[in-house]
Amino acid sequence: MLSIGGDSTSYSFSSSGDARKVADYLWNNFLGGRSNTRPLGDAILDGIDFAIIVGSTQYYDDLAIALSSKTKVHLTAAPQCPFPDKWLSASLNTGLFDSVWIQFYNNPVCEYSTRDPNSFKSSWTQWTQSIPAGKFFDGLPASKDAANNGHIPAEVVKSKVLPFVKMSPKYGGIMLWDRYHDKLSGYSDAVKSSV
């Protein structure tokens, strides 16, 4: 997967045509197309992850539609947990996404809290019941240092969070931010038997 977006700078499309041109560029330079300027050489990626959290909200649905018109391209997205997501709502509503990695961190209004687990539960339920996607993943910080807030101790994830999210037929697993912090904390090793 190639992830596009992030929070380091502002980015946008000027039109539907612009989004289609970017889809062609991604196809030819990273996916199954052909180009003399492929940054990863002969490597062929099989999907694009939408990590759109700044800039314009327009034309990402056009990008998703254009990418999905190519020979099988997997589409994933990493929206913030407040519903609906400001930047990706139109894209996600296309029904073209295989997986959605919901970021339940840096957003106190919908993160899991032992004091009030209902806001998290309501958000998870709304996401999984409202968005036509294949699988949903509960995005968590891999340590207290990985995000400003939202870290949940591994034992609480195993005893409280996973039993709830696994009730959804669209449950796919968890997503951890990020691998560096996970290697330091051992978080994935602590929870993987319950995932």
Tens-digit pLDDT profile for residues 2-15: 999 988 778 899 99
Average pLDDT in the 35-57 region?
A: 94
Average pLDDT in the 69-87 region?
A: 95
Please count the structural domains in the chain.
Answer: 1
Q: What share of the chain has pLDDT > 70, as a percent?
A: 100
Measure the CA angle with vertex 180, ends 153 and 121; round to 5°: 35
Average pLDDT in the 144-171 region?
A: 98
Q: What is the CATH number of the domain that holds 126?
A: 3.20.20.80
Question: Do the Cβ atoms of 175 and 140 come closer than 8 Å?
Answer: yes
According to the model, what pLDDT value does residue 37 have? Answer: 93
The yes-or-no verdict on residue 188 having pLDDT over 90 is: yes
Whole-angstrom distance, CA of residue 125 vs CA of residue 71? 32
Average pLDDT in the 176-180 region?
A: 96
* Enclosing domain of residue 50: 2-194
What are the structure tokens assigned to 169, written together?
Answer: 């037929």
According to the model, what pLDDT value does residue 55 have? Answer: 86
Helix (H) or strand (E) holding 72: none
Average pLDDT in the 6-34 region?
A: 93
Question: Do the Cβ atoms of 4 and 48 come closer than 8 Å?
Answer: yes
According to the model, what pLDDT value does residue 52 have? Answer: 93
